[in-house]
Amino acid sequence: MNYSEPQLDDLYRDLILDHYRNPRNRGTLENPTAKVDGYNPLCGDEVEVELLIEGDVIEDVAFKGRGCSISQASTSMMTDAVKGRSKAEAESLIASFKHMITNPDDEVPPELGDLEALQGVGKFHVRVKCATLAWNALEQGLRENGTSHIVEEN
Amino acid sequence: MFDVVSVRKDFPILQRQVHGRPLVYLDNAATTQKPRQVLDALMYYYENTNANIHRSNHTLGGEATDAYEAVRDKVARFIGSKYGPQSIVFTRNTTEAINLVANAWGRKFLNAGDEIVLTISEHHSNMIPWQLIAREKGAQLRYIDVDDEGRLRRDELAEVIGPKTKMVAVAHASNVLGINPVAEITALAHQHGALVLLDAAQSVPHMPVDVSALDCDFLAFSGHKMCGPTGAGVLYARPELLDAMPPFLGGGSMISRVQLEEATWADVPSKFEAGTPDIADVVGLGAAVEYLEALGMENVRAHEKDVTGYALERLSSLPEVKIYGPMNVEERIGVVSFNYGDIHPHDVGQVVDSFGVAIRGAHHCAQPLMRRLDCAATARASFYVYNTKAEIDVLVEALQEAGRYFKVEQAPVAR
C-alpha cells in the first residue's frame, strides 16, 4: 500500500478541539421554530439542533448533544457559521460543506471560512458521518418547522 | 504446552503493519483472526473437493458431503453434546441460530401471556428476535438487571423466572461485561418447565464449554469468533426439540417428499438447513475446532485470564480510566470495556488506531445495557490466543497519547 496516510493531526485540528472543549451556542432556545434530533446509530452520536427562523433569516441557533469530538465540534462550528444567515446562504453552506467532506482533496471555497478545519475528516472515511450529522440536522430544520428526527444511514 | 510466540506464527495477518506499526489486534470479541491451518483448509477444499453436498452422487459430491458432515461430529464433540451430530445445526452465525429458535420454536410453542426472560446486557442479536416473536404472539419480555458493577442481579432471578416463563435466553458471557451464572439460571428455568437458550458467542471461543454439564436446551455460537471463517455458525439443540419444531426456512435439502400443496421434512438437522449451505466455511470451522482443540481450551482460557488480568492492572493504573464489569478475571472473559476520562470512545479508538492498535469504540450492539451503565458507549479491548502483555503495553502507551491529545483533565463533561 503506497499512499500517504492521513495523519491524526489532519483530523484533530486545534480549532476542532477548541470547539469540542468550548462549544459555541450550546443550550436551548426559548421559542425555536424548528427542532431536530439527529442520531447516528452506528456510534451513538446525538445532537439536538434548535433554530429560530424569522422570515428568511436564521435569527438564532442552539444545540445540545453528546458524542465524539468530531460530531460535537462540527455542530458547534455549524451553529457559528449559520447564525444570522439567510436560509439560502445556509443551504449553500450545507452543500459546500458536504462537498468538502466527501472530496477532501478539492480546494475549499472561501465561503466555508473556518469550517475548512473539518476538511481532514474526509480522509477518515469512518468519521465522515460524525461531521455531517449536524449539517443533515440543519438541512432538515430548514425544511420542516416543529420537531423532527433524522437518523444517519450507515 | 501453550506458547504464544509459536501461536502468533500461525496467524499471517499479525505480520501486518498498520500506520507503520505492527498490528495489535484487540477487537476479538467482534471477530478473531484466522490461523494458517484454517486458511489452508479453505483453500484445499476449493482446490480439491468443491461440490454441492447431499445431492450429487459423483466423487466430489461424496467427498464434499463427508467433509461437511465430519464437522458436525467435531463440533458435537467440541461442546460435549451427548446427542452427537443430530444435535448440531449449521447456521450463518449466532444471530441466525437465535432467529431460528425464536421463529421455529416460538411460532409453535409460544402463546399469548407467556413470558420470555432475557437480561438487560444481551447483545441485540439475543433481544430483537425475541421482541419480534413476542409481539407476534402476544408474549411478554422480562429482563434481569445487572448491578452497578455489571454483574447479573442474582437476587432478581427468582422474581423474574416463574411459572409463566417459557424461554430463558441469556448470554453465557456478555460481550461487554462478564460471565453469567448460567448453571443457576438453567436450574431455575427447568424447575418452572422453561427452556434455556445460551448465547455462547463469547464463551465457546474462549473457555471449555460442555453443553451436557450446562444442561441448556439450545446453545448458539459463531465460527468467525473462534478462528473460523465468517459465514458458519452453530445451533446446538436437543434433537427431540428440533424434531418438534417446524422448519425455519424452506427449500432444497430440508425436505423429504414434496407434493404441489405440501411436503414432509427431512430428518434433523437437515430440516433446518435449507438450500446450499456455507460448505467451505463449515469445513473451515472444522479446521478452527481442530486448531483450538490442539491448543487446548483450558490453555486458551488460562492464557486469556493472564492477559486480561494484566490489562485490568495496567488500565486501572491510568487515573482517568473507568472499567466496566467485575474486576476478578474468574468472572470475566477476555473483554475489557472502559472509558478514558471524558474522551469519547470513538476518539479513543481513532488515536490508538494510529499506533496500530485495533479496539472497538461503540455501543457494542447493546444499547439497553449502555443506558443502564449510563454511558453512550464504551471503548472495548478484547483478547485472544495470540495477544501478549507487550501488546497491552502498546495499548496503554496509545491511551496515554489520547489523554495528551484530549487533555483528559480538561475535557468537557458530557451533557
The answer to whether residues B277 and B246 belong to one domain is yes
Residue B258 belongs to domain spanning = 38-294
Strand partners, B362: B378
Chain A residues with CB-CB distance to B415 below 8 A: 64, 66
CB B218 within 8 A of CB B237: yes
**What is the model's pTM?**
0.91
Chain B residues with CB-CB distance to A11 below 8 A: 350
How many residues are given for chain B?
Answer: 415
Mean pLDDT of chain B: 94
- Whether B57 shows a pLDDT value over 90: the answer reads no
Q: Helix, strand or coil for residue B116?
A: strand
- Please check whether residue B342 touches A, CB under 8 A: no
Q: Which residue of A has its CA nearest to B353?
A: A8
Place of cell 464449554: B209
Residue pairs spanning A and B at CB distance below 8 A: 56
The answer to whether residues B304 and B367 belong to one domain is yes
The answer to whether residues B50 and B161 belong to one domain is yes
pLDDT band for position A154 (cuts 50, 70, 90):
low
The structural domain count of chain B equals 2
Q: What is the CATH number of the domain that holds B48?
A: 3.40.640.10
- Whether B72 shows a pLDDT value over 70: the answer reads yes
The answer to whether residues B124 and B22 belong to one domain is no
How many residues are given for chain A?
Answer: 154
Domain boundary among B244, B259, B294: B294
Q: Which residue of A has its CA nearest to B347?
A: A68
ipTM of the complex: 0.85
Domains of chain A: 8-151 (3.90.1010.10)
Chain A residues with CB-CB distance to B406 below 8 A: 17, 69
Residues 134-153 of B with CB under 8 A from A: none
Domain boundary among B272, B294, B316: B294
| Amino acid (one-letter) located at B290 | E
- Whether B373 shows a pLDDT value over 90: the answer reads no
CB A45 within 8 A of CB A68: yes
Q: Helix, strand or coil for residue B259?
A: coil
Residue A65, min C-alpha distance to chain B (Å): 6
Chain A residues with CB-CB distance to B407 below 8 A: 21
Q: Which residue of A has its CA nearest to B377?
A: A44
- Whether B389 shows a pLDDT value over 50: the answer reads yes
Q: Specify whether B365 is catalytic.
A: yes
Chain A residues with CB-CB distance to B376 below 8 A: 44-46, 66-67
Contact B346 A70 (CB under 8 A): yes
The answer to whether residues B17 and B75 belong to one domain is no
List strand residue ranges (DSSP E) for B102-154, in order. Answer: 115-119, 140-144
pLDDT tens digit string along B5-51? 999 999 999 999 999 999 999 999 999 999 999 999 999 999 999 99
C-alpha distances (whole Å) from B16 to each of A6, B19, B23, B394, B405 are: 18, 10, 6, 16, 26
Which of A14, A69, A74 to probe by mutation at the B interface, max B CB count within 10 Å? A69
The answer to whether residues B307 and B333 belong to one domain is yes
Residue B338, min C-alpha distance to chain A (Å): 15
pLDDT tens digit string along B151-203? 899 999 999 999 999 999 999 998 888 899 999 999 999 999 999 999 999 99
Residue B412 in any domain: the answer is no
Residue B261 in any domain: the answer is yes
Give the contacts of A22 (CB within 8 A, at least 6 positions apart). Answer: B412
Residue B409 in any domain: the answer is no
| Helix residue ranges per DSSP H, B255-366 | 279-295, 297-316, 345-353
- Please check whether residue B128 touches A, CB under 8 A: no
Residue B271 in any domain: the answer is yes
Contact B415 A66 (CB under 8 A): yes
- Whether B246 shows a pLDDT value over 80: the answer reads yes
Place of cell 422474581: B159
Q: Which residue of A has its CA nearest to B355?
A: A8
pLDDT tens digit string along A102-141? 998 999 999 999 999 999 999 998 899 999 999 999 999 9
Residue B408 in any domain: the answer is no
Q: Which residue of B has its CA nearest to A41?
A: B363
For residues B254-267, give the mean pLDDT.
88
d(CA B405, CA B413): 16
Residue A99, min C-alpha distance to chain B (Å): 23
The answer to whether residues B151 and B23 belong to one domain is no
Q: What is the CATH number of the domain that holds B327?
A: 3.90.1150.10
The answer to whether residues B10 and B55 belong to one domain is no
Sheet bearing B321-324, strands edge to edge: B321-324, B335-340, B378-382, B360-362
Chain A residues with CB-CB distance to B370 below 8 A: 44
The three state secondary structure string of chain A is: CCCCCCCHHHHCCHHHHHHHHCCCCECCCCCCCEEEEEEECCCCEEEEEEEEEECCEEEEEEEEEECCHHHHHHHHHHHHHHCCCEHHHHHHHHHHHHHHHHCCCCCCCHHHHHHHHHHHHHHCHHHHHHHHHHHHHHHHHHHCCEEEEEECCC
The answer to whether residues B180 and B286 belong to one domain is yes
Domain boundary among B294, B312, B345: B294
- Whether B365 shows a pLDDT value over 80: the answer reads no
- Note the pLDDT of residue B230: 98
The partner residue sitting opposite A68, judged by closest CB among B347, B354, B363, is B347
